[in-house]
Amino acid sequence: MKRLLCGFLLLSAFFYNTPLLMAGPSGEFRTRYTTVYYSDKKDIDDFIWKLGGRKIDLGAARDLASNRIDRLVDRVEAILDMQPKDFRINIFLHRGILESERIAFYDHKTKSIHISVDYATDGVAAHEIAHAVINYHFSTPLPEKMQEILTQYVDKYLWNDY
């Protein structure tokens, strides 16, 4: 039975283009552009707090929480002047340092952002969202150095006109 379940999970991850997490997400939060997967309610609460600078109750203020994430996507798209059609990404929240000693990364193959809640900021999230927007906008992914130049442009101008 265990083998059958493992095989099903691997096939699901392959066909639905989602990464397979060891612990597996226990919850998800959908916004206009994203689906955020988290293992613990504290993870999503901390992530939303770090994006907006103020704690909110996700249960009572789902629209406000959703707007914090979607506002970042809108801002990144405006800075890059790229509005890819049908833009939709998955965000997976983790704790601690991620693989290869990173705090966040964008996986082009799965169209997913992985971010450590412990190190999350609106700037870190915007940087990874920029990778996603760039990869959605161009049919062939840009070279890594070009992507970094564009994402650093987003870093520089994220909240410049506010």
This prediction has a pTM of 0.82
pLDDT at 70: 96
- Going by their DSSP bridges, the two strands 89-94 and 34-38 should be labelled as parallel
Q: What is the pLDDT of residues 52-62, one digit of tens each?
A: 888 887 777 88
CATH number at residue 108: 3.30.2010
Confidence of residue 118 (pLDDT cuts 50, 70, 90): very high
How would DSSP label each residue in 71-98? HHHHHHHHHHT---TT--EEEEEESS-B
Provide the angle, in degrees to the nearest 10, between the axes of the packed helices 62-80 and 122-137.
Answer: 60
* Domain range for 66: 22-156
Contact 127, 148 (CB under 8 A): no
- 119 found inside a domain: yes
Alpha-carbon distance 21 to 12, whole Å?
12
Residue 162 lies in a domain: no
Q: Is residue 68 part of a domain?
A: yes
What pLDDT is stored for residue 54 in this prediction?
A: 81
Q: What is the pLDDT of residue 61?
A: 84
